Amino acid sequence: MTIAAIDVAKSSGMVCTRVPHEDKPDTRVQRVFNVTATSSAVLELGDHLRCQGITRVVMESTSTYWKIFFFILEAQGIECWLVNARDVKNVPGRPKTDKLDAIWLAKLGERGMVRPSFVPPRPVRQLRDLTRARAVLVHERTRHKQRVEKLLEDAQVKLSVVISDIFGVSGRAMLEAMIAGERSPKTLADLAHGTIKASKDSLVDALTGQFEEHHAYLCKMLLETIDHLSVQIHKLTVRIATRLAELEMTTDNSPDTDDDGPDGQTMLLPLTATERVDEIPGIGPATAQMILAETGLDMSIFPTAGHLVSWARLSPRTLQSGAKNTSGGIGKGNPWLRGALGEAAISASRTDTFLGARYRRIVKRRGHMKALVAVARSILVIVWHLLNDPQARFADLGADFHAKNLDPTRQTRELARKAKALGYNLTLTPATA
């Protein structure tokens, strides 16, 4: 296989081609040249590479500058490999130039010493753009809500102390009334909805402050921005659901919807991938969509659940030196996927389920953060099995799974050790039948 390599920069790329010599066997003809990072120049590069018989291009993942080379060359039928910069570092003691980096990358790819990173197909990439844009807008909306709360604190209005959500029905009505010019705490307290647990006197005390026209102007502007962001988030959510439905229809492992039940009755339509992932404790519809957008629906890319977990950087590395084995860090991984799994793990840790019990077992000896990573890893393993088998459904093992399957001798020894630590000596007598 004939391979080329590109050392990517922002405005250009250094290309190295190594093709077999026409007369001398086992000899390569090497050529290094610079290409401007524009669409027309990359299209010409693709034509040149195909004329040279090059079938694979290896490039380093430099920021987002690799995309113009990767996407255009991929569209021209050339196999593109995106490799991690950590795996293609030049050996120490040699000069570092773009030309030498391109030659080194070409030689590594020629000898099979690099492996490609996972770059999803175009529909999944577009779905990623939508879910990531929604996550950014949700974050911005949260920031603006926090600014409203800070504004109320500046006006000595302690509404967030007595109401859990100042942007709910009651809180929003009070804010709109204050913006409109209402300053009477009793009148504002009467706007509270019936579900508010705080007493009227508490509301009156919290609403007593120095809310002026200056605060009303800023608060109105912030609320308008929050409403605008909410509309945009809703539009993105609708588009994400549509794109996911289209993606499931084109995925080979999508569930069959034409099966008939007993007596010729049509069975209910199977759940979508989003709905099946949503059944996992701690995961909601938005989190499920984020996970599916980052991993894709085709699990053939990841042969086992361990491959997916390793790609997401949720498996600790083993460091061995002689007879000493230690665990290394898990690495950075995909920040969008890990963020979604982290939120799901926090929610699952508070449930009376297998995942919640797993968190409580690990947190006692490893700490909060490592317990959350372990739960996030378990969630991702479950996701892999659900996507790998379209007919699979989530079934919780139960919070007492470990207790029921734990070795009785080990459990007895653990209880005796705890009793001894408390200053007791236990005499164990087997119970009669």
Tokens representing residue 112 in the block = 């099979």
pLDDT higher than 90, residue 70: yes
Separation CA 20–CA 55 (nearest Å): 13
Mind listing the pLDDT tens digit for each residue in 327-362? 777 778 889 999 999 999 999 999 999 999 999 999
Instruction: Band the pLDDT of 307: cuts 50, 70, 90.
Output: very high
> pLDDT > 90: what percent of the chain?
58
Mean pLDDT of all residues in 156-177: 92
Mind listing the pLDDT tens digit for each residue in 6-29? 999 999 999 999 888 877 877 788
Q: What single DSSP character describes residue 269?
A: P
Mean pLDDT of the residues in the chain = 88
pLDDT higher than 60, residue 238: yes
Separation CA 180–CA 382 (nearest Å): 51
Residue matched to tokens 């408390």: 422
Q: What's residue 252's pLDDT?
A: 57
Mean pLDDT of all residues in 64-77: 92
Q: Which domains are delineated in the chain?
A: 3-110 (3.30.420.10), 273-315+330-388 (no CATH)
Tokens representing residue 396 in the block = 């919780």
H helix intervals, 296-423: 305-311, 335-348, 354-366, 368-388, 401-405, 408-421
Mean pLDDT of all residues in 24-42: 89
Mind listing the pLDDT tens digit for each residue in 377-389? 999 999 999 999 9
Q: Is 169 exposed, middle or buried (0-12, 13-18, 19+ CB in 10 A)?
A: middle
pLDDT higher than 80, residue 94: no
Entry pTM: 0.83
pLDDT higher than 90, residue 427: no
Amino acid type, 404: K
How far is residue 300 CA from its own chain's centroid?
19
Separation CA 347–CA 151 (nearest Å): 30
Mean pLDDT of all residues in 60-77: 91
Mean pLDDT of all residues in 393-408: 85
Q: What's residue 337's pLDDT?
A: 94
Separation CA 245–CA 273 (nearest Å): 9
Please choose, from the candidates 388, 248, 370, the residue with its C-alpha nearest in 3D space to the C-alpha of residue 307. 388
CA angle 40, 65, 100 (to 5 degrees): 95
Instruction: Band the pLDDT of 1: cuts 50, 70, 90.
Output: confident
Please tell me the least confidently modeled range out of 91-95, 234-238, 330-334. Answer: 91-95
pLDDT higher than 50, residue 258: no
Instruction: Band the pLDDT of 315: cuts 50, 70, 90.
Output: confident
Please choose, from the candidates 89, 71, 75, the residue with its C-alpha nearest in 3D space to the C-alpha of residue 7. 89
pLDDT higher than 50, residue 259: no
Q: What's residue 140's pLDDT?
A: 97
Mind listing the pLDDT tens digit for each residue in 196-231? 888 889 999 999 999 999 999 999 999 999 999 999
pLDDT higher than 90, residue 288: yes
Is the separation of the CB atoms in 222 and 147 below 8 Å? yes
Instruction: Band the pLDDT of 253: cuts 50, 70, 90.
Output: low
Is the separation of the CB atoms in 278 and 284 below 8 Å? yes
